[in-house]
């Protein structure tokens, strides 16, 4: 049977990296406050609008955008688009609601502080990007929240939540003409406003190692490397390199760190692409006393890749893995929705799946070797170790990985 659900969303090109100076977390706080009530709906009516018909309504804040998303049965798409338009365009932003959500976000911050494998990424980003907006915590801090006023949020909403910064998309059981009609009805008379400027990356992200001592059952380690932005052609060899490095049970890191050495339960690679820069790297969690050995083993794997790249058979397998994962993921309407919006948010022309797989197939062994030498260069690493004896991991000898 064909899918009967629709995933739809509205995204604003305003995220944590564009928060006003001294108001880190403002975009995230605004995302919270809009759910407290609009000109047409109370907070309970917002909650019931789609849940009462079996749908879902969510929102999130990222580095360079804020997203509002819904999933419903196809016959309830009009209600979903109407709710999204109401949230984006007509929030009340009352003083008492701002104060209420500040308390909620403080609890959210506390939850991250109690989750070291989340906290280590936040601290790593802060250290890697320094005082640059890319390094700001998305939720801000208790101090910046206290400084953020209702007027700050109203000004941010008026400046950023405009037609020039809006992306609307739908995927699943939906007809283009029907969706267009609903969008025109809900958003067609929005003021265009001015586009929020993209953030320029810092000229030189941090390098070296930082240790943060903290009581926890494990030492949590993140190694990160700056990369080009989402639209750069190096994105495709980066995806392959990351998959071979730590993208599953067959990856080099998993096989070496977990299967051979038993130094970690969780070890994986990651990548995040922004409009004009990005970051890729590795996470692992290991027992106290093993941080140095685990880092040495990661360096060994990095060094092998930097020297040798991916040989023909491994490169072919990695291409098949990445292409298969992409195609399988797109069986979900939500995944197709995110892909549609992702291209639009960075101003990139949509790339059909067939063309995407062709670009992956065109990546050569030389592309991989060149990129591995760049992103695994020891002179470009920033490492953060968090946990008991975090300094022990950080003080591991920095051998020449190449």
Identify the active-site residue in 31, 64, 122, 392. Answer: 31
Give the span between the Cα atoms of 344 and 366, in whole angstroms: 30
Q: Helices 95-113 & 26-33, crossing angle to 10 degrees? A: 120
Give the span between the Cα atoms of 168 and 204, in whole angstroms: 35
Q: How far is CA 294 from the centre of its chain?
A: 26
Give the span between the Cα atoms of 26 and 112, in whole angstroms: 18
Give the span between the Cα atoms of 153 and 33, in whole angstroms: 9
How far are the Cα atoms of 46, 231, 242, 253, 295 from residue 384, in angstroms, in the given order? 41, 28, 19, 18, 11
Other C-beta atoms closer than 10 Å to the C-beta of 313 total 8
Beta bridge partners of residue 280, listed in sequence order: 225, 271
Give the span between the Cα atoms of 222 and 117, in whole angstroms: 9
Q: In the annotation, is 31 catalytic?
A: yes
**Residues sharing a CB contact under 8 Å with residue 368, sequence separation 6 or more, in sequence order:** 237, 240, 241, 309, 310, 315
Is residue 275 a contact partner of residue 64, using CB atoms and an 8 Å limit? yes
Q: How far is CA 206 from the centre of its chain?
A: 20
Total residues found in the chain within this entry? 402
| DSSP letter for each residue of 106-153 | HHHHHHHHT-HHHHHHHHHHHHHHTTSGGGS-TT--HHHHHH--HHHH
Catalytic residues: 31
């Amino acid at each position: 049977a064909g899918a009967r659900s629709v995933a739809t969303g509205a995204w604003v090109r305003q995220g944590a990296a564009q928060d006003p100076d001294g108001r880190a977390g403002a975009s995230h706080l605004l995302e919270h406050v809009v759910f407290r009530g609009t000109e047409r709906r109370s907070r309970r009516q917002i909650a019931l609008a789609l849940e009462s018909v079996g749908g879902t309504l969510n929102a999130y804040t990222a580095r360079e955008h804020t997203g509002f998303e819904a999933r419903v049965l196809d016959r309830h798409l009009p209600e979903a688009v109407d709710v999204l338009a109401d949230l984006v365009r007509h929030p009340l932003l009352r003083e008492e609601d701002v104060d209420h959500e500040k308390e909620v976000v403080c609890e959210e911050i506390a939850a991250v502080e109690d989750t070291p494998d989340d906290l280590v990424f936040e601290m790593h980003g802060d250290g890697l990007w320094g005082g640059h907006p890319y390094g700001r915590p998305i939720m801000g801090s208790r101090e910046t929240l206290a400084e953020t006023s209702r007027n700050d949020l109203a000004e941010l909403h008026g400046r950023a939540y405009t037609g020039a910064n809006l992306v609307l998309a739908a995927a699943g059981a939906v007809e283009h003409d029907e969706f267009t009609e609903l969008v025109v009805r809900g958003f067609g008379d929005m003021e265009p406003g001015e586009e929020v400027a993209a953030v320029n990356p810092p000229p030189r992200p941090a390098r070296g190692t930082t240790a943060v001592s903290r009581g926890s059952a494990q030492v949590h380690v993140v190694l990160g490397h700056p990369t080009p932005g989402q639209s750069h052609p190096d994105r495709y060899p980066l995806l392959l390199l990351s998959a071979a490095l730590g993208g599953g049970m067959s990856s080099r890191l998993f096989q070496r760190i977990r299967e051979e050495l038993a130094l970690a339960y969780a070890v994986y690679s990651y990548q995040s692409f922004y409009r004009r820069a990005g970051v890729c790297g590795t996470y692992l969690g290991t027992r106290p006393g093993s941080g140095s050995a685990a880092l040495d083993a990661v360096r060994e794997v990095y060094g092998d890749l930097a020297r040798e790249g991916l040989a023909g058979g491994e490169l072919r397998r990695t291409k098949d893995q990445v292409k298969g994962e992409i195609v399988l993921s797109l069986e979900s309407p939500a995944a197709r929705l995110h892909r549609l919006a992702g291209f639009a948010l960075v101003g990139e022309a949509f790339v059909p799946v067939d063309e995407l797989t062709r670009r992956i197939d065109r990546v050569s062994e030389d592309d991989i070797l060149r990129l591995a030498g760049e992103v695994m260069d020891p002179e470009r690493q920033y490492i953060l170790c968090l946990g008991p004896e975090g300094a022990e991991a950080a003080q591991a000898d920095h051998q020449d990985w190449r």
